[in-house]
A = this chain, B = another copy of it.
Amino acid sequence: MTFFYNNVYINETATIVGPYESNGPLNKLFDKCNKEFYFKEKTWELAEIKLIEEAVNLLLNKNNCSYADLLISGDLLNQIVASNYAARNIKIPFIGIYSACATSVLGLILGSNMINSNQIKTVIAAASSHNNAAEKQFRYPVEYGGPKPLTTTFTCTGSAAAYLSTVKKGIKIESGTIGKVIDLGIKDAYQMGAVMAPAAADTIYQHLKDTKRKIDYYDLVLTGDLGLYGKEILKEYLNKQYKINLKNYDDCGTLIYDINKQPVYSGASGPACAPLVTYSYIFDLMKKNKLKKVLLVATGALLSTTMVNSKNTIPSIAHAISLEAI
């Protein structure tokens, strides 16, 4: 299901990160780097709420972004409370979405659909994740210090928000593809790359089919957060199943940290991962004309602790948007 847009642009973005991202290779490109996890709040959840509020406020203080018609946001916390609680202070109409680590792109697609059809003028699409809040909820409190397999991804801490309108400024959203839920039968929540790679492949295939493009049309295909191992799985799977040969390809999960030096297992994950990397490093390259056309494929593992602990397999989804330098 691919939507085409004539006149939707990401005019501005706001990116806020936590300590690990602040120590990573992209730190100079984020709007705000924090050195600790609490952000002066009492709980991890309140800290994540603050991340979204601050990202949206940062955005609304940028040039010509003082007002938005609508906020679309989601996160990993149960009942997406980071987004819900942030929205009560932002005080504009709100749509809560859940697509795990594919949330940011789903928000951009929903917003683009409404803007492209003149239903609204401006929208903010946001997403967040917080390592300690997510680890506590999905695995163990980080204070427990449990070891994990190397295939584990490390939930990044941060929030990213994008300001969309028809004003020709920033980066163009040319089209967007809503994915299908895919489940190839993996039950291991420490193998998220393997869980999500088939969803990424399905969405890439569908996007190319709907747009009648070859993969070389894009200067870069960028997945959300497959991590070191998921990247290789995707390349092999796309080749075998769909005869698509990924060449100009990278994964946000492997870009935000220095994987060789930082203790982040196979790389970053979390709804904030894809937009943090895209709005900083990738948009910087696009604005310098080093990249012209980018396909961003955000991937989400649609598990819950209840479903994993009762030994169910893990479904996944991927949504894609085609981004163009203007």
Q: Whole-angstrom distance between the alpha carbons of A96 and B98 in the complex?
A: 5
Number of copies of this protein chain within its complex: 2
Q: Does A120 contact B (CB under 8 A)?
A: yes
CB distance from A138 to the nearest CB of B (A): 9
From B85, B98, B106, A315 is in contact (CB under 8 Å) with B85
Among B76, B94, B117, the residue within 8 A (CB) of A113 is B117
CA distance A317 to B92 in the complex (A): 11
The number of chain A residues with a CB under 8 A from chain B is 54
In the complex, A78→B77 CA distance in Å? 8
In the complex, what distance in Å separates the CA atom of A3 from the CA atom of B96?
17
Indicate if A69 sits at the interface (CB-CB under 8 A): yes
Q: Which residue of B lies closest to A177 (CB)?
A: B93
Residues of B within 8 A of A94 (CB): 178-181, 317
A78–B75 alpha-carbon span in the complex (Å): 12
Asked if A310 lies at the interface with its beta carbon under 8 angstroms from chain B, I say yes
Residues of A within 8 A of B (CB): 1, 3, 43, 45-46, 69-70, 74, 76-81, 84-85, 87-88, 90-100, 106, 110, 113-114, 116-117, 119-120, 137, 178-183, 302-307, 310, 312, 315, 317
